[in-house]
Amino acid sequence: MIRENIRMAWLTVISHKMRSFLTILGIVIGTASIIALMTIISGVTDSINEEVATFGADRMTVQIEDASKSGVSVAELDRLEAIDGVRSVSPTTTQQTDVYVTGQTSTQSVIGKSNSYFDDSTVATGRGLTPVDVSQQTHVALLGDTLAPSSEFSMSTDEAVIIPVTTALQQFHQNTIASFDIYTEAGQSETVNEAVTQQLTTAFNGRDTFTVTSFEDALASIDQINALLSMLLVGIASISLLVGGIGIMNMMLVSVTERTSEIGLRKALGATPGKIRQQFLFESVLLSLLGGFVGVVVGGLLAFGLTLVMGVPFTLASSTIGLALGFSILIGVVFGYIPARKASNLQPIEALRNA
């Protein structure tokens, strides 16, 4: 019986091609919007995560903001580096000073770094800093790849001069460091974060005058924001599906009116109200499902073109397709029930008399 209902639903749909197409158009638009939006957001999220991951997932940044204490000493950094799970600590100190480059003197950023910084950074020409450079306060420097007289007041290491942090402290007459990165062993970020926070709280006499930012936390925040954005955009796109559902309900009500004689004849031959209701529900779901499939194809092609233009990965997840098709089927059931119920409640005599 189910096979027969599917066959009859299909024959009804293809016998009114233009009307069926216009009916499912709202479903197509809604499904395509969901597929395109979720795919694009997924690609943007993956792109952002890859970009953030280049800074090191097992890395956290500490910024000191205490007005009475400008930072931590080298000795305190050594104690932080001794925490279990810490791979290395990379301090950073920055000063604007006059630099003589390519025959010209200009104000540039001079950044003090340790050898640990070059564990995750590459040098195009020459070598990175070594432990000897740091311990002996050697007078060596690395020029950023894009360093030029016009790149003043830049915080990017590609547009700055890098020297050993101990040399920078000596040259700038400083004895504390207000910013440093902590590189952790894989999977130890949370434990290290707690230990670092506790140790710094003790060092600053219980004052919460520092921030510890974990890149894993940053990735989690990005995922959460994008998930909320996805829900918002999908909610907006779902309005088209609701409009399409109303269109399906309208068509099915018209179909019930046009087929009263058929309904009366089937009931007179013994068809139960449940069977009649099932037949019209099958037609409604078939229309929604056809619109869903077409919408998936259209949305996938649209998302592919947009991600190609935007330069982000194209990741059409099966869960996204399942959500879009599931929603379209739900629309067919919900908006097809009223017409199907109306058809099943028709009395055979009244249906044949009004035919």
> Are 33 and 296 a contacting pair, CB within 8 Å?
no
Identify the pLDDT of residue 293: 92
**pLDDT confidence of residue 302:** 92
Cα–Cα distance measured from residue 110 to residue 333, given in angstroms and rounded to the nearest whole number: 67
- What DSSP assignment string belongs to 143-180? E-TT--TT-TT---GGGSEEEEHHHHHHHTT---BSEE
Joined together, the tokens standing for residue 248 give 């399906």
Task: Please report the pLDDT score of residue 55 as a whole number.
Answer: 60
- Which pLDDT score is estimated for 154? 41
Sign of the CA dihedral with 242 first, then 244, 248, and 249 last: positive
3-state secondary structure of 202: helix
Closest by CA to 9, choosing from 242, 243, 271, 252, is 252
Per-residue pLDDT of the chain (355 residues; tens, 9 = 90+): 577 667 777 777 777 788 888 888 888 888 888 888 888 888 887 887 777 666 656 788 888 876 556 788 888 888 888 888 888 888 888 888 777 766 777 777 888 888 888 776 677 777 888 889 888 888 888 877 665 444 443 445 666 788 888 888 888 888 888 888 888 887 777 888 888 888 888 888 777 788 887 777 777 777 788 778 878 877 877 787 788 888 888 888 887 777 777 777 777 777 777 788 888 888 888 888 888 899 999 999 999 999 899 888 888 888 888 888 888 888 888 888 888 888 777 776 665 565 5
Confidence at residue 304, expressed as pLDDT on a 0 to 100 scale: 92
| Contact (Cβ atoms closer than 8 angstroms) between residue 6 and residue 286 | yes
Q: Whole-angstrom Cα distance, residue 61 to residue 192?
A: 12
Closest CA to 174 of 63, 68, 71: 71
Percent of the chain that is helix, strand, coil (3-state, to 5): 60, 15, 25
